[in-house]
Amino acid sequence: MADSRAKLRRFIEDRCLITDRQFILSTGQAAGFYFDCKNATLDGSTLILIADEFLAEIDQLPEVPTVIAGLTMGADPIVAAVAMRAAQVGKATNRASIVRKKPKKHGTRNHVENEQQRGSKVVVVDDVITSGSSTHTACKKLMESGYTIVGIICLVDRQAGGVKSLETSIHCPVRSIFTSSDFGRISDASADRSATA
């Protein structure tokens, strides 16, 4: 498992982490690095690694969820992959729900796709947590639909206060596979910018 996590970390650093320009984050703040994790979550081989790492983190939660869910679209590949992998290896978290940002205006008009019965224990996931606002939106809609949130897990915590905010507001464990400090290229890029300033 340690080798798989190291391989996943290298993939994210090489293929998802961008440090050569300034970015505006969803919070409106400027940042010198950005995690484009779709490059990992939409790569089949890497998605297997991601699913296994999320299942390992789910195993550490105090309560076992039977459902995995998240806000479209950052969470979509993770949600589907983890549910499928859980079914393959006989884990309990083998049902999935997706939270829409807005309900459909036609058909079922669902806000939560594949909604499970009230009281279902759910782990909420996301690719990156910055402020935690998108994850909070997903949690709010899931709670309104009767789910019991037993944990939140993200692929990368930007260490910008979002994890602490979610722990305080949702009152459940919040875990991450990686934090921004796990990626040496961020500190290297910051040092380069300081040297040329």
pLDDT, tens only, 3-34 = 999 999 999 999 999 999 898 887 788 899 99
What is the C-alpha to C-alpha distance for residues 38 and 104, in angstroms, rounded to an integer?
24
Fold entry, domain 2-189: Rossmann fold (3.40.50)
Q: CB neighbours (10 Å) of residue 65?
A: 24
Summarised one tens digit per residue, pLDDT across range 165-193 is 999 999 999 999 999 999 998 865 544 44
CB 4 within 8 A of CB 49: yes
Average pLDDT of the chain to the nearest whole number: 92
CB 156 within 8 A of CB 34: no
In this predicted structure, what is the pLDDT of residue 196?
Answer: 34
Summarised one tens digit per residue, pLDDT across range 152-166 is 999 999 999 999 999
Q: What's this model's pTM, rounded to 2 decimal places? A: 0.92
Q: Structure tokens of 197?
A: 């300033």
What is the C-alpha to C-alpha distance for residues 130 and 149, in angstroms, rounded to an integer?
20
